[in-house]
């Protein structure tokens, strides 16, 4: 299987191939999606591409962008017998990846490659890494040996240790790249991007960004409250016994909170994808990969002021903020801390 076979994940593959073409492949990736089998196929294809003996090439650099899928190196990787491509999976009775497994991997990855250009370590179900195993691997993930690539795979990225998550470039194979800007619901994102693009890095400027986001979330919660209250049996049955009314009121409160949290997650995901656009532009990967092309001018203004590493930190910061909110921290405080840390 080659990258040409990933027809439904064209955008993610383009990002990888453009990084390969420019010789700017990262040293650590986190591939996320709905099926581990698909993620394993993507990781295997990347391992084949960087080690292929007869790869497809593109551009003036002449660097590989896809595997031939036929050479001896590609066949060995497909058959899981290549000595320089290592796989780690949950194998213990508890279905976790143990510290002993990671120590064995670190020992192997630090050895000189026996026949390949790149050593590749692929950790399947990285969310199953024990705390001890994750901490033991932290230094290697942050500074892998020269010529090595580490790829983490997960269908539950929210469970991955934060220290590991923040050190990887994340590529999502869940089809989130089909976002469209809808002015009726995304006017706040346009306002946010324009405010971020104006170059005012003062504390007041950051609080203006926070104000745009909080105002939208306040309106969202109010609309959710009205919508679900109108559907509640409380509206059609004014005369009910107290216990039943209390039960309905509790159910309504829970329903409003659950729906608001779902919509808040979507709001922050859209912001995260705009910040991803900033990251793509900071890498000069092209406007055709953007989630929100109509906001490209604002994204480019920010991308021109920060490094690609800082742009990726912003994307990871939004992921971290989502985690904090999922743990029931105070919403306004979590958003304030997150926005004040953004590099804009």
Give the C-alpha separation, 316 to 150, whole Å: 18
Asked if residue 318 and residue 220 are part of one domain, the reply reads: yes
Whole-prediction pTM: 0.57
Q: How many CA atoms lie within 13 A of 262 on its CB side?
A: 7
Residue where one domain finishes, among candidates 178, 194, 218: 178
Question: What is the pLDDT at residue 119?
Answer: 93
Question: What is the pLDDT at residue 236?
Answer: 67
Asked if residue 234 and residue 143 are part of one domain, the reply reads: no
Asked if residue 158 and residue 209 are part of one domain, the reply reads: no
Asked if residue 171 and residue 187 are part of one domain, the reply reads: no
Asked if residue 281 and residue 334 are part of one domain, the reply reads: yes
Residue where one domain finishes, among candidates 144, 161, 178: 178
Question: What is the pLDDT at residue 178?
Answer: 45
Q: Two tokens at 279?
A: 């990251």
Question: What is the pLDDT at residue 175?
Answer: 54
Asked if residue 42 and residue 97 are part of one domain, the reply reads: yes
* Domain that includes residue 285, residue range: 183-341
Domain tally, the chain: 2
Asked if residue 243 and residue 273 are part of one domain, the reply reads: yes
Asked if residue 326 and residue 217 are part of one domain, the reply reads: yes
Q: Two tokens at 308?
A: 């690609």
Successive 10-residue mean pLDDT values, the chain, 344 residues:
72 82 86 83 92 82 85 91 90 79 91 87 90 89 88 86 84 61 73 87 84 93 86 72 81 81 83 91 81 90 92 88 80 90 89
Question: What is the pLDDT at residue 288?
Answer: 74
**Alpha helices, DSSP H, located in 232-342:** 233-236, 242-282, 296-303, 308-326, 331-341
Asked if residue 9 and residue 104 are part of one domain, the reply reads: yes
Asked if residue 225 and residue 170 are part of one domain, the reply reads: no
Q: Two tokens at 156?
A: 């539950």
Residues 56 and 124 sit within 8 Å (Cβ to Cβ): no
**CATH code at position 164:** 3.40.50.300
Of 317, 335, 325, nearest to 272 (Cα)? 317
Q: Provide the 10 A C-beta neighbour count for residue 113.
A: 17
Question: What is the pLDDT at residue 290?
Answer: 84
Strand bridging mode 148-154 / 56-57:
unpaired
Question: What is the pLDDT at residue 177?
Answer: 45
Asked if residue 249 and residue 120 are part of one domain, the reply reads: no
Question: What is the pLDDT at residue 307?
Answer: 93
Asked if residue 163 and residue 205 are part of one domain, the reply reads: no
Residue where one domain finishes, among candidates 136, 156, 178: 178
Give the C-alpha separation, 316 to 319, whole Å: 5
């Amino acid at each position: 299987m080659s990258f040409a076979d990933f027809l439904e994940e064209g955008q993610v593959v383009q990002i990888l191939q453009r990084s390969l073409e420019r010789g700017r492949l990262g040293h650590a990736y986190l591939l996320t999606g709905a099926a581990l089998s698909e993620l394993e196929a993507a990781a295997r294809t990347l391992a084949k591409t960087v080690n292929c003996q007869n790869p497809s090439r593109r551009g003036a650099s002449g660097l590989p962008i896809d595997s031939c899928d036929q050479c001896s190196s590609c066949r060995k990787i497909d058959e899981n017998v290549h000595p320089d491509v290592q796989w780690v999976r949950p194998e213990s009775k508890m279905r976790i990846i143990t510290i002993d497994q990671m120590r064995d991997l670190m020992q192997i990855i630090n050895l000189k490659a026996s026949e390949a250009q790149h050593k590749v370590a692929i950790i399947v179900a990285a969310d199953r890494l024990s705390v001890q195993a994750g901490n033991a691997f932290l230094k290697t993930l942050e500074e892998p040996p020269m010529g090595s690539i580490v790829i983490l795979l997960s269908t539950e990225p929210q469970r991955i240790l934060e220290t590991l998550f923040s050190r990887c470039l994340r590529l999502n194979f869940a089809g989130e790249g089909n976002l469209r800007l809808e002015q009726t619901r995304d006017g706040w994102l346009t306002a946010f991007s324009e405010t971020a693009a104006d170059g005012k890095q003062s504390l007041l400027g950051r609080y203006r960004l926070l104000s745009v986001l909080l105002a939208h979330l306040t309106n969202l919660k109010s609309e959710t409250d009205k919508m679900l209250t109108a559907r509640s049996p409380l509206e059609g049955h004014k005369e009910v016994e107290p216990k039943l009314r209390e039960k309905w009121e509790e159910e309504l409160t829970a329903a409003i909170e659950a729906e608001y949290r779902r919509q808040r997650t979507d709001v922050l995901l859209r912001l995260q994808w705009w910040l991803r656009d900033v990251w793509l532009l900071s890498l000069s990967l092209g406007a055709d990969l953007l989630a929100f092309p109509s906001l490209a001018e604002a994204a480019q203004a920010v991308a021109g002021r920060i490094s690609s590493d800082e742009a990726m930190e912003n994307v990871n910061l939004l992921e971290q903020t989502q985690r904090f909110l999922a743990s029931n921290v105070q919403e306004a405080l979590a958003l304030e801390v997150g926005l004040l840390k953004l590099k804009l």
